[in-house]
Structure formats: structure tokens, C-alpha cells
Amino acid sequence: MQDATAGDPISGLKWTHKSLRKLSVALDRRGYHLSAPTISRLLRWREYSLRVNHKRLAGKQSVGRDEQFRYLAQQRQRFLRRKWPVISVDTKKKEKIGNFKQAGREWRHRPRAVGMYDFPSDAQGKVIPYGIYDVGRNQGYVVVGTAHDTPEFAVAAIRRWWVAVGQRVYPWQRHLLIQADCGGSNGNRCWHWKARLQDFADEFDLIITVTHYPTGASKWNLIEHRQFNLISANWAGQPLDSYETVLKHIRTTKSETGFRCLAWLDTKHYETGIQVPLEVAAWLRVRPHKSFPHWNYTIYPHPYKQGS
């Protein structure tokens, strides 16, 4: 019963899992005639059980990972104490539109019939849900895109939340904290993301502070376990056969702690591969923080843009 690795040149083992039937055959060859239930009982007596792989080995971690987590929490608490808006943002997994099988189960008299295959060519389209989670109010907002997950789309989603919700619930506030992952459309090294945030700051005269989670730490982003998991549970087992179905399930997502979510469909086409010229990058008013400046920075509006 020693652990085996497929194709191990030293031990010669060529398999990774021994079923009860295979164990019974192997024991029979050695003169021990035991049934599968008996082997199962003996294995449990010896404290064996069927187990799955556990994702526990993080590998090489970013330098300053723990310190950055503490800094994220400090900045979040500082903004919340002052009643300033704090949002956690990220792009949820892309979904295909069509009568495709969706993970999960639902109470029904009989199973729902869905397509046997889920080829992208059979889809009517795709959805790119970009989420904004309001930490202080425990409220969610999702902009459902239909084109590409680009920095322009990410900032447009945040702007949509600010116009529809943020300005109303945080009147006269000039400070906004955005906590995001380290990659994707809102990556810390993406100048297009920062350039679009600069436009957003100039338009609404906002001082925008951005703090990024370290590489490989996206699962600790608040939006993952306070908003996205609830949405996934709400549409579990439901084929996303139309954009209206997607919006309906997002808008009806709620929790016992008072979480509610709004959704808006964005059908605009966003170009990919846009590069920010050096002169534009130099024009940005991005001020890195002393603590991990590659992860933390504040964007100030240009004075001549105010009120224009």
C-alpha cells in the first residue's frame, strides 16, 4: 500500500491508485483470498481512507507577502473608519451563453436536458462578469461584458458602479480605495489600467488609492468569498441560456447577512492589445506608496481637469 508514482524508474510502479478489486487480485496471487468488503474493512482499521489532493503547497511566495496582507488590512480599516468607499474588484470566470451543462444541482421532478457538448462554436456568445464589492455596505455590483476583459472594460465597470451607486451612497466623497488582484485587466504592472483610472479620477475629481494582493493570493480577495461564491451558488445547475438569465441570477443573489447584488449588461466592444505611450505614462499622476510601491499607489486628479 505504499504510495506509487506512475512510471517511477526506481520502483517500477506504473499506477497511482489501487482499487479494492486490484488489491483483491494482488492478494489472491499471494495466497490470501479476501473479498473487496473485507479489504475495505481492514484498510479502515489500519486508518486508510480514500483521499483527494490538497492544494497546500504554495511554492515560491512573493517577497513581503505577509507584510502586504497586513498593509491591505490597514488601508481598508483606515478608509472604513473615515466612512470612505472601499471596493474589492475582480473578473469572475467567463461563461458561455447557451444550453450547456452548469455545475451544481437543483430540485426538479426530472433532470434538465442540455447539450451533450459544450463547444465554443455552439455558444450564442460569452459573458465576462466584472464584479465590484462594496466592503463597507456588503453590497455587490456586476457589469456583464460581452467582448473582452481589458483594462478599459474594468475601469468602465468601476465607473458604472460609481455613477449608479457610489455617488449616491457616498455623496461628496473624494477618496476611493480599490483592492484588486495582481494580474489580469487590473494588474499592478498594467499602464493601460492606470491610464484609465487617471481618466476616471480626472472626470470625478477623485483621489484613487489602489492596493494589490500579492501574486498567487487572489483567493483571499474579499470579492471571491463574499460575492462570487454566492453568485455561483445561485445559478448552480442552471444553464445560462441567455444574457437575461445571467442578469436575473446575479440580481437575485442574496445572503442572510444582507448581501444584495445589482447587474448591468455592457455590450460595448473593447479593443485588446492597447499600449500606453511613454509620454502618456509620464503624464499620469501616479504616486507609489513607501510600502511596496509596486503593489500600492495613489492616483491624483489633474488640477486643470477639475470642474471641466
Asked if 220 contacts 213 with a C-beta cutoff of 8 angstroms, the reply is yes
186: domain CATH number? 3.30.420
Question: Which residue from 298, 297, 302 is spatially nearest to 280, judged by alpha carbons?
Answer: 302
Asked if 246 contacts 127 with a C-beta cutoff of 8 angstroms, the reply is yes
Beta bridge mates, 296: 211
Longest CA–CA span in the chain (Å) reads 90
Question: Could you tell me if 166 and 218 lie in one domain?
Answer: yes
Rg (CA), the chain: 25
Beta bridge mates, 180: 212
pTM: 0.82
Question: Which residue from 46, 62, 52 is spatially nearest to 17, judged by alpha carbons?
Answer: 52
Give CA 6 to chain center in angstroms: 33
Domain final residue, candidates 32, 54, 76: 54
Contacts of 75 (CB under 8 A, 6+ apart): 177, 179, 209, 211, 296
Question: Could you tell me if 230 and 264 lie in one domain?
Answer: yes
Whether 60 is covered by a domain: the verdict is no
Question: Could you tell me if 126 and 189 lie in one domain?
Answer: yes
**Residue 169 is inside which H or E element, if any?**
helix 167-169
Whether 21 is covered by a domain: the verdict is yes
Whether 280 is covered by a domain: the verdict is yes
Q: pLDDT tens for the chain, 308 residues: list them.
A: 555 434 445 454 444 466 788 888 888 888 989 998 998 898 888 777 766 666 666 556 778 899 999 999 999 999 999 999 999 999 999 999 999 988 888 777 888 888 888 888 889 999 999 999 999 999 999 999 999 999 999 999 999 999 999 999 999 999 999 999 999 999 999 999 999 999 999 999 999 999 999 998 889 999 999 999 999 999 998 999 999 999 999 999 999 999 999 999 999 999 999 999 999 999 999 999 999 999 999 999 998 644 44
Whether 59 is covered by a domain: the verdict is no
Tell me, what's the pLDDT at 247? 97
Question: Could you tell me if 36 and 78 lie in one domain?
Answer: no
Tell me, what's the pLDDT at 229? 95
Mapped onto helix, strand or coil, the DSSP state of residue 214 is: coil
Tell me, what's the pLDDT at 16? 42
Angle formed by the axes of helices 36-45 and 20-29, nearest 10°:
100
Domain final residue, candidates 35, 54, 73: 54
Q: Which residues of 132-167 are buried (b: 16+ CB within 10 A; e: fewer)?
A: bbbbbbebbbbbbbbbebbbbbbbbbbbbbbeebbe
Tell me, what's the pLDDT at 14? 44
Q: How many domains does the chain have?
A: 2
Question: Could you tell me if 131 and 226 lie in one domain?
Answer: yes
Asked if 100 contacts 234 with a C-beta cutoff of 8 angstroms, the reply is no
Domain residues for the domain of 264 are: 65-305
Give CA 194 to chain center in angstroms: 20
∠ at Cα 191 (186, 193), nearest 5°? 35
Question: Could you tell me if 85 and 231 lie in one domain?
Answer: yes
Asked if 130 contacts 91 with a C-beta cutoff of 8 angstroms, the reply is yes
Query: Residue 78 and residue 50: Cα distance in Å, rounded?
Result: 47
Question: Could you tell me if 40 and 113 lie in one domain?
Answer: no
